[in-house]
Structure 1
Amino acid sequence: MLSFIELFLAQQWQVTFASPAALSEHRADLGALNVDEVAIELNSTSFDDWIKPLQPDIVLFDRFMMEEQFGWRVEKCCPDALRILDSEDLHSLRQARHQLLKQQLRDDQLDIPALSSGSSLPALYQSMTNTDLAQREIAAIYRCDLTLMISDIEIRLLTEHFNVPASQLIHCPFMLPRERPHKPAFIDRQHFISIGNFRHAPNWDAVLWLKQQLWPLIRLQLPHAELHIYGAYPPPKATALHNAKEGFFIKGWVDDAHQVIREARVLLAPLRFGAGIKGKLVDAMRNGTPSVTTSIGTEGMIDPLEVWSGEQANTPVDFAQAAVRLYTDATQWQVSQTVGYQILNKRFDQTIIQARLMERITALLEPEQLTAHRLNNFTGQMLRHHHHKSTKYMAQWIEAKNKQTASEARVAGAIPLDPTH
């Protein structure tokens, strides 16, 4: 989201960031970028009163849930605004993989490649098609004028199996500069690292897999090795896994994630489900830190036959052996670091991605182009009609109920506690 804000500011556009979420202690300082911040409410006409005089030319929804809540209000108050959805990743794909993983674990038949995309796209479609989340998410994609997709694999899934028109989507992965500052050498680094928000289900599953199976196998070969696990919001069940004797350290939040990744020798990301592009693996490459991950982890960053910046492994034994090799072999480590830089320059060149995105947005800002684009998306018009009607009346009902509850609370608060008064 910050990369989009910075791109739009570079166009000399005025940017306003509006959110119904509570302020986080780890939030970015948007004020330093001269970006206006506005608190908005769910199910409230106060949003209409705010956005109608603003009349933005573009509205960017952060994930489909925001489009569900505010899309009908934007269309009502600002019908000419270009509506863009930033999908982040395909949430329904991640959910489907999570359910498949649970089933495989129950059946004791874990097969990570079967959970990944590529040749299994039809199977993933079958797992997703009847889910409420997929229907909601893909409906939001249809209702918007353009959806930013971070993974080309997910674009294939949407266009080839859900029949979403390619004109509704644009591939927009992380936009990164090509410059690579000096990084510490192999000999100057130590320890394994794993990083990720503990509230994100794939990250928590990875921590458990490390604790229960992977790390014990690595320690058998490297008895003095240490694994430092970082991430925001570690719950008590996570901190309880900390064990210094086993070299398993739960570190929690860190102010500078890039620094701790840069100081580590190898990053471990044993992801058994997920979607999109994994930020931790991109950050590892940016900091010259090779990684060991699964085929789920590398999805959307390399083609099936391309070499990874480290190693891919999908079984506990293979994963542990790969981690040991990468940690102890300076030559392989150096080659993997170089491959990481090559992947970044090939896949995440901000100059190329920004130009492609701005060309698409600029074209759609032309009134005639936008009108024609919307006319060619009858499915989106139909979904907006039905969704907006139902969401509108539900939101109005919730707003009326909230007002009634607040009024009753005020009346109740005015009644004296002493009945003799």
Structure 2
Amino acid sequence: MRTRRALVMAPVMPEFDRESGSRRIHDLLIFLRDAGWAVTFVAQRAPDGERYRRLLQQAGIATFVGFDDVTDLIMSGGHYDLALFEFWNIAEQHLAFIRRASPQTRVVVDSIDLHFVRHARRVFLPTTPGGQGGLLDNAYGAEMVRELNIYAASDAVLAVSEKEAGMINDLLGDSNAARCVPDCEEFAASPVPCAERKGILFLGSFRHTPNIDAIDFFCRQVAPLVDPRVLEADPLQVVGTGMDDTIRDIARTVPHSRAIGWVPSVVPYIERARIMVVPLLYGAGTKRKLVQSLMIGTPTVSTTVGIEGLGLKHRKHALVADDPREFARHVESLCRDTALWGRIAASSREHIMPVHGREAARRRFLDAIEAVMAREPKKPELASPDKDHNYRISLHYQRLAHRVREAIASHVPEGATVLVASRGDPAFVQVVGRQGWHFPQDEGGGYAGYHPADSAAAIVHLEQLRARGGNYFVLPGTAFWWRTFYGEFQRHLDETYQRVTGGEDAIIYRLN
């Protein structure tokens, strides 16, 4: 059975231990890999992301950085069954091109959250307590049109909640357009009893503006209304990546507080906190921090926006308030009332596990993918911003593959077996009179579906295939990045074998 191939594109390398969206992307990549897909991941940028890139490659996921011509070459020559775009604006950059370059590829957009909902709520939010918010402008309308058009042009949309999936389906007039694939976690209940818990925990990435506004709201409007004895017994702890002096100054306005910043794992903090607070004023999607606290069994006080999409009931699964004074009263109640604390801790975990457990989310995701694979892909309807550019890229790739085959024909004798870093494209290994092998390859001789994890793995695999009859190794121009990324492998080739040719299109080594 042919291995199916998936291309996943996202704005950044998934920093799964720092941000919720990154954790979701990482989960979906692993779900695809574990289901037998050969997965290629491309990040638009990777600031300080080398560790995460290396971890993905070690997990068997071919990983690239940068939406440049190399990415276009990957897409036009990749023969992908599935293209999964994380966020609509990433899909907007590539959807039209991939429709033309690979018409049979199914295109799925993972919304993560609905941007037009989050942006509208931010604009309408009053700038002062009891004040009036702003109004939407034409720029907002234009962006909303772009977002909805991308959802309509895709073969399927993933949403983090049934509420947002239903909203997309209503707007598109198609009950099957979007499916809910919830965020997932897999945590045991906290072993720390209520009597040994301490602290009010605020958790969130401060790269995300709603979290900045949320901590400001809690510290300046809610905390002053909380009994000082509660804040002394259970001090505020602020945990999250992207913390700067502004966030620290906000936290210092609350007596006894601690601004901790990024931590390798949030689990110990959630397990030991008396309560968690989620004082979000606006946003969209679902809140992973709330899923985590409910699963671990740490009772939470949240705003209405914070619990959205999770099906939670006030006083059963969490305490909910939007008014600062009422929010403060709920904080006091959960910190003082151990019976209420125990009831909410038990019922919240029972509620969240069936939907947001890892296995439940995995099944929903793979079911959604299989559903879209069973349908015919949509026809290309969006105009490309640069048709001539896309045509040139596709033509350039075809011409490059032709020149690589010519180089092999010129420098490799007939009857020889040639190993080619082909990315699985038969155009690079079908050379008349020569036996072409994909590199790396699986046990059956087909393309392995991923790049070597590191130089050591590449060297071992090369020597295995040489022992089985490989006579030459070819590095096409599409894989020249190997020379720096797999530095030790490159040195092994140069020091051990003869370089037959090394032009702009291909480098060829003789292995015997």
Q: TM-score higher than 0.5 here?
A: yes
**Residue by residue, what CA displacement relative to the aligned partner does 1:31-60 show, whole Å, maximum 9, x if unpaired?**
34222211232xx43322222222111111
Structure 1 segments unaligned to the other structure (5+ residues): 112-123, 376-380, 398-421
Q: What is the CA–CA distance in structure 2 between the aligned matches of 1:23 and 1:244, rounded to whole Å?
A: 32
> Identity over the aligned pairs, expressed in percent?
21
Q: Distance in 1 between matches of 2:364 and 2:44?
A: 31
The aligned amino acid for 2:376 is L
Q: Report the TM-score, using the length of structure 2 for normalisation.
A: 0.65
CA distance in 2, matches of 1:27, 1:355: 25
Correspondent of 2:71 among 47, 59, 78: 47
Could you tell which deviates more after superposition, 80-89 or 20-29?
Answer: 20-29
User: Which of 244, 258, 261 lines up with 2:270 in the alignment?
Assistant: 261
Instruction: Give me the whole-angstrom Cα distance separating, in 2, the residues matched to 1:223 and 1:210.
Output: 13
Q: Superposition pairs for residues 379-394 of structure 1, below 5 Å?
A: 381-382=380-381, 384=382, 386=383, 388=384, 390=385, 392=387
Aligned: 1:108 with 2:134 = no
Residue 254 of structure 1 and its aligned partner are, at CA, apart by 1.2
1:297 is aligned to 2:303? no
Q: How far apart in 2 are the matches of 1:23 and 1:65?
A: 19
Deviation at 1:244, TM superposition (A): 8.2
- Pairing partner for 2:293 from 284, 298, 314: 284
The SS at the match of 1:20 is strand
TM-score, with length taken from structure 1: 0.79
Aligned in 2, Cα 1:391/1:340: closer, same or farther, shift over 3 Å?
farther
Structure with higher RCO (Cα < 8 A, 6+ apart): 1
**1:292 partner SS:** strand
- Mapped to 1, the partners of 2:189 and 2:263 lie a distance apart of 21
Aligned match for 1:153, one of 149, 163, 184: 163
State the match for 1:75 in structure 2: 99
* Alpha-carbon distance, 1:321 to partner: 0.5
Shift of 1:239: 2.1
Given candidates 242, 250, 259, the residue that maps to 1:233 is 242
Flag the 1:53–1:130 CA change in 2: closer, same or farther, 3 A: closer
With over 3 angstroms needed to count, the CA separation of the structure-2 counterparts of 1:148 and 1:53, relative to structure 1, is same
Letter in 1 for 2:176: S
Q: Which residue, out of 88, 93, 96, partners 2:112?
A: 88
Deviations 1:254-281 (A, max 9, x none): 1111121111111111111000000111
Q: Which residue of 2 aligns with 1:417?
A: none
Q: Which residue of 2 aligns with 1:370?
A: 376
Q: Give the distance between the partners of 1:391 and 1:231, measured in 2 at CA.
A: 40
The residue type equivalent to 1:354 in the other structure is R
Structure 1 Cα separation of the partners of residues 361 and 137 of structure 2: 32
Paired residue type of 1:341: R
Q: Does structure 1 retain, via aligned residues, the 8 Å contact 2:220–2:253?
A: no
Match of 1:241, SS? Answer: helix
What is the aligned partner in structure 1 of residue 355 from structure 2? 347
Q: Secondary structure at the match of 1:246?
A: coil
| Structure with more helix by fraction | 1
- Determine helix, strand or coil for the equivalent of 2:341: helix
Give the structure with the higher percent strand: 2
In our comparison, the structure showing a higher alpha carbon Rg is: 2
Segments of structure 2 that go 5 or more residues without pairing to the other structure are 1-24, 393-512
The AA in structure 2 aligned to 1:328 is: R
**Which amino acid counterpart does residue 141 of structure 1 have in structure 2?**
Y
| CA contact 2:162–2:179 (8 Å) conserved in 1 | no
Seen in structure 2, the aligned counterparts of structure 1 residues 237 and 351 have a Cα distance that, compared at 3 Å, is closer
Q: 1:65 and 1:392, CA in 2 relative to 1: closer, same or farther beyond 3 A?
A: farther
Cα distance, 1:106 vs. partner?
4.9
